[in-house]
Amino acid sequence: MFTTGQLIFAGLFIVVFVLFIFFSYKEDKKIHLKNYGGVIWVLFSFVIFLISLFIIKYFLKN
């Protein structure tokens, strides 16, 4: 399906991309913690909201 060259390119691309993202995030970690410190609560609330929607759907369906 893919040639050997394409697989090597894809593998190297993924490795370099992940390393680039990791080091970029590592440099900005202090800024992210300062500016986005309360984001975890928004995520938690969103997950609870989605779970409650599925529970309501389950009980209304039965």
State pLDDT tens for residues 19-44.
Answer: 999 998 888 888 888 888 888 899 99
Give how many domains the chain has, as a whole number: 1
Model-level pTM? 0.50
Cβ-Cβ contacts under 8 Å for 2 (sequence gap 6 or more)? 10
What residues make up the domain containing 45? Answer: 4-61
User: In this predicted model, which residue has the larger pLDDT, 12 or 23?
Assistant: 12
Rounded CA separation 62/49 (Å): 20
What number is the average pLDDT over the span 13-23? Answer: 96
pLDDT of residue 44: 96
Hunting for tokens 């680039």 — which residue is that?
20
- Cα 34 to Cα 23: distance, rounded to the nearest angstrom: 18
Question: Helix count (H) and strand count (E) of the chain?
Answer: 3, 0
Higher-confidence position of 54 and 29: 54
